[in-house]
A and B are shown apart, each in its own frame.
Chain A
Amino acid sequence: MTRTEDGILALMPALRRYALALSRNRQDAEDLVQDSLEAAFANLGAWRGANLRGWLLTIMTNMHRGRYRTQAGRARHDAIETAGDIAAPAGPDDPLERDRLIAAINLLSPEQRSVLMLVVVEGYAYTEVAAMLGIPLGTVMSRLSRARHAIADNLSGHNIVGLRRP
Chain B
Amino acid sequence: MNRTQPPGVTEDDLHAYVDGLLSAERQAEVERWLAGNPQAASEVAGWQQQNRHIRALFSAEVPQEDDARRLADLAAGSARARRRWSGRVLAASAAGLVLFSLGAGAGMLGARLLEPPARTLASLEALPEAARASYLIYTREVRHPVEVGADQEAHLVAWLSKRLGSEIAAPDLTSEGFHLVGGRLIPYRDKPGALLMYENEKGERLTLMFGRNEQNTTTGFRFESTGNVQTFYWIDGPVGYAISGEIDRERLQRISDICYRQL
A residues adjacent to B (C-beta < 8 A): 1-2, 4-5, 8-10, 12-14, 16-17, 20-21, 24, 26-28, 30-31, 33-35, 37-39, 41-43, 46, 58-59, 62-63, 65-70, 72, 77-79, 82-83, 86-92, 94-103, 105-107, 109-111, 116-117, 119-121, 125-126, 134-136, 139, 141, 144-145, 148, 151-152, 158-166
B35 within 8 A of A: no
Q: How far is the CB of A71 from chain B (nearest CB, A)?
A: 9
Closest to A111 in B: B109
Q: Contacts A90-B57, A148-B50: A164 and B117 contacting too (C-beta < 8 A)?
A: no
- Select the stretch in B59-67, B157-165, B170-178, B197-205 that faces chain A: B59-67
**Best-buried of A21, A66, A67, A103 by chain B (most CB within 10 Å):** A66
B43 within 8 A of A: yes
Contact among B59, B87, B101, B253 for A62, CB-based, below 8 A: B101
- Select the stretch in B121-129, B134-142, B185-193 that faces chain A: B121-129
Closest to B105 in A: A134
Q: How far is the CB of B248 from chain A (nearest CB, A)?
A: 14
Beyond A1-B68, A34-B85, A159-B225, 6 extra complex contacts between A and B, CB < 8 Å: A1-B71, A72-B113, A89-B60, A141-B12, A152-B43, A164-B221
Contact among A12, A69, A116, A151 for B64, CB-based, below 8 A: A12
Cα A8 to Cα B73 in complex, Å, equals 13
Contact A166 B260 (CB under 8 A): yes
Contacts of B112 in A (CB 8 A): 72
Contacts of B60 in A (CB 8 A): 86-90
Contact A107 B119 (CB under 8 A): yes
Majority DSSP secondary structure for residues of B touching A = mixed
Kindly count the residue-residue contacts between A and B in the assembled complex, taking CB atoms under 8 Å apart. Answer: 245
Q: How far is the CB of B119 from chain A (nearest CB, A)?
A: 6
Closest to B232 in A: A163
Q: Contacts A12-B63, A43-B100: A66 and B94 contacting too (C-beta < 8 A)?
A: yes
Q: How far is the CB of B140 from chain A (nearest CB, A)?
A: 23
Majority DSSP secondary structure for residues of A touching B = helix
Contact B58 A30 (CB under 8 A): no
B residues adjacent to A (C-beta < 8 A): 11-12, 15-16, 19, 21, 43, 46-47, 50-51, 53-64, 67-68, 70-72, 74-75, 77, 81, 84-88, 93-106, 108-109, 112-114, 116-125, 128, 215, 217, 219-226, 234-235, 253, 256-257, 260-261
Contacts of A152 in B (CB 8 A): 43, 46-47, 50
Q: How far is the CB of B70 from chain A (nearest CB, A)?
A: 8
Contacts of B46 in A (CB 8 A): 152
Contact B68 A103 (CB under 8 A): no
Contact B102 A92 (CB under 8 A): no
Closest to B76 in A: A41
Q: Contacts A13-B62, A106-B119, A148-B15: A91 and B104 contacting too (C-beta < 8 A)?
A: no
Closest to A27 in B: B86
Contact A135 B117 (CB under 8 A): no
Q: How far is the CB of A68 from chain B (nearest CB, A)?
A: 5
Q: Contacts A8-B71, A106-B119: A87 and B61 contacting too (C-beta < 8 A)?
A: yes
Contact B63 A13 (CB under 8 A): yes
Contacts of B128 in A (CB 8 A): 158
Contacts of A26 in B (CB 8 A): 86
Contact A151 B223 (CB under 8 A): no
